[in-house]
Homo-oligomer: A and B are copies of this chain.
Amino acid sequence: MPAQNKYQRVTISDVATRAGVSTATVSRVVNGGEGVAARTVAIVNQAIQDLNYRPNAAAQGLARQRAQTISLVVDEVGGEYFSQMLRGVQQATSDAGYDLLIYATRRNPTFIMPQQNADGVIVFANSLRDAEILRLGNADLPVVLLHGTRPPGCNAPLVTVENQRGAYELTQYLLEVRQYRRFAFLRGADGHDDALMREQGYREALTQHGLDYDQQVIGRGDFEEETSREVVTQWLRRGLKMDVIVAADDDSAIGAMVALRDAGLRIPEDVAVVGYDDIRLARFYDPPLTTVRVAIEESAHVAVEQLIHYLKHGSAESTIRLPTELVIRRSCGCC
């Protein structure tokens, strides 16, 4: 396509000229037409249509002192979890009439909001180190934390889910209903606060049943299929025995199942497996995975609402924690 750059933009002055009015009037029409004569509105709209005029967002943003944009900072784009989160953020954002900017920190770990191009930012809290979150919070940009925990010294609103309680209930169930006693745990990613909370819930349930947390098998799941698969393979090679593997998320639960199956073990007859999150795959896997459903999309939605509320009224809920739900499927030997 050898086309030239013929992109000569039409501005508000062009519209004003064609309509025979001032730019102020065009501006009023563009912004709803309050207090403009109906006849004038019609003329201006005609000119706008004729010229296919679309306002320049940068100029509007500069004049209005607001970008009408929020940005979402995540660690990485991709995967089911992210996908659901983005969906929630995108819907809420567009419903509120804001634009949505996406940043990924994974490939750019020192990411520090280079510009001032949004009115506020939703930070997937596990995507930034505490220092960076603090820096954002102390800078001149309203922040809402999504998932994770609020670092000490930070007072940005936080929207998250019941990580600790969900893990507690799940473990409780495995202990009381299934009567399992030999547990193995696959930790989540380092520095991931949700992972820590889940681990605490798990630990709490064990302790309450008189089991020593440290005596159970523990390994790194890293929220990754590959890692957990290797870890579990090692466990089996070393002859470790367990009734059930509790993974800090569904991805590592799946890695565990792959490893078990590769070793010729049956799930759940030989070893049961449970996860956390209830990603799409959990329902489809064979056997279907017992897990804890997390309202990912809804929490994202709520985070945006909080941010926008803050932008409009200067305040927001300090902490909102959405409930989780136990989802019993075959992998835990329950049905």
Q: How far is the CB of A182 from chain B (nearest CB, A)?
A: 27
Q: Closest chain B residue to A91 by CB distance?
A: B107
Chain A: number of interface residues, binned into ranges? 35 or more
The answer to whether A254 and B284 touch across the interface, beta carbons within 8 angstroms, is yes
Instruction: Tell me the complex Cα distance, A60–B254, Å.
Output: 47
Contacts of A100 in B (CB 8 A): 101-103
Contacts of A6 in B (CB 8 A): 140
Partner of A3, one of B1, B57, B103, B314: B314
Contacts of A57 in B (CB 8 A): 58, 67, 115-117
Contacts of A107 in B (CB 8 A): 91, 94
Contacts of A82 in B (CB 8 A): 83
The answer to whether B102 and A56 touch across the interface, beta carbons within 8 angstroms, is no
The answer to whether A54 and B115 touch across the interface, beta carbons within 8 angstroms, is yes
Q: Closest chain B residue to A55 by CB distance?
A: B115
The answer to whether B86 and A77 touch across the interface, beta carbons within 8 angstroms, is yes
Encoded as 1 (CB less than 8 Å from any B CB) or 0, chain A from 185 to 219 comes to: 00000000000000000000000000000000000
Partner of A94, one of B69, B83, B108, B142: B108
Instruction: Tell me the complex Cα distance, A67–B115, Å.
Output: 12
The answer to whether B62 and A90 touch across the interface, beta carbons within 8 angstroms, is no
Q: Closest chain B residue to A76 by CB distance?
A: B87
Give 24 pairs: A residue, B residue, CB < 8 Å, sorted on A. A1-B318, A2-B315, A6-B140, A9-B116, A10-B140, A52-B140, A54-B115, A55-B116, A56-B117, A57-B58, A58-B62, A77-B86, A77-B90, A77-B91, A78-B83, A78-B87, A79-B83, A80-B80, A80-B83, A86-B86, A94-B104, A100-B101, A281-B284, A284-B284
